Structure 1
């Protein structure tokens, strides 16, 4: 059974914050000092209501930035899972590789405009996890994983992930995300029809 502290951090607290304030969180995660402070704050908040014996040290919590299939991606190395249902890695994938200071796509209040479903969908990053799972890794050393995605209240398993506990796990996870996401759609040129 998953430990409540790391589970609450990776499956509830972090994704809710990322979706509630997408532009602000992206800016904070781009600054190493602010990112560390933010992640440790969320880690502590995730254990706030837990008894001391159920709290887990943030050992191994680490953030790095990558480009995955043309998309800016914040990759979080999480404390090592101890049970099925915990996550090894979390990836926050921004569909637009724009500068995080560019607010042209996101309203000033950091909230997507609910009246504009296209803007609301574009403004929200996607949130993926490399989840610990039961079973055996086929023909490979390492522990079995699943590539999962949280989207609102939905939790979807896409496919088996790369075995965890190997030196190439992170790279293979990022490659699995790139394969899943595919290339960025090309911009459709704006057309104006003039009738004469």
Structure 2
């Protein structure tokens, strides 16, 4: 299994996760000031400056857009193409309807430990730490957004439960 590149890993699992959890729901709605891409690129580049030159990566492929997923406001971030395990294809900052906090979900690149075939895992960072939600969809933005919407949807109770 290939190790994650420090720049990619730290951006997704440390810097961006921290920023999303700190700034919360206001990141999930478009601002009159325009796209958040310059801010994200700045965070990416600033992080790179803290790393040895050989660990720095260009921001090519980094992108973001605001959308709604089943009524939930969401910031979808597209990452540079992942190559190592746990690097991410996408992350979403989603504000579930009625919730006070935002959720930070990543579609992480994974490799099957038995045959080395590529796959994905849905991971989530919260103030308590990292959660693994199991196998994720193919790395297609629309499929990831649908998986995030399903993940944050209120759980329906059984017929006999109150």
**Shorter-normalised TM-score: what interval?**
0.7 to 0.9
Alpha-carbon separation, structure 2, partners of 1:88 and 1:171: 12
Within-5 A mapping of 1:3-152: 3-22=5-24, 25-26=27-28, 30-31=31-32, 33=34, 35-96=36-97, 122-135=99-112, 143-152=118-127
Alpha-carbon separation, structure 2, partners of 1:94 and 1:86: 23
Alpha-carbon separation, structure 2, partners of 1:6 and 1:31: 29
Is residue 171 from structure 1 mapped to residue 146 from structure 2 by the alignment? no
Alpha carbons of structure 1 residues 74 and 90: separation in structure 2 relative to 1, 3 Å: same
Deviations 1:121-165 (A, max 9, x none): x432100000001119xxxxx93000111112411111211123x
Paired residue for 1:154? 129
Report the 3-state secondary structure (helix = DSSP H, G, I; strand = E; otherwise coil) of the residue aligned with 2:86: coil
The alignment's TM-score, normalised by the length of structure 1, stands at 0.68
The alignment's TM-score, normalised by the length of structure 2, stands at 0.82
CA drift of 1:22 comes to 2.4
Aligned 8 A contact 1:129 1:149 in 2 = yes
Report the 3-state secondary structure (helix = DSSP H, G, I; strand = E; otherwise coil) of the residue aligned with 1:47: helix
Q: Unmatched 5+ residue regions in structure 2? A: 157-162
Question: Cα RMSD (Å) of the superposition?
Answer: 2.4
Alpha-carbon separation, structure 2, partners of 1:65 and 1:34: 9
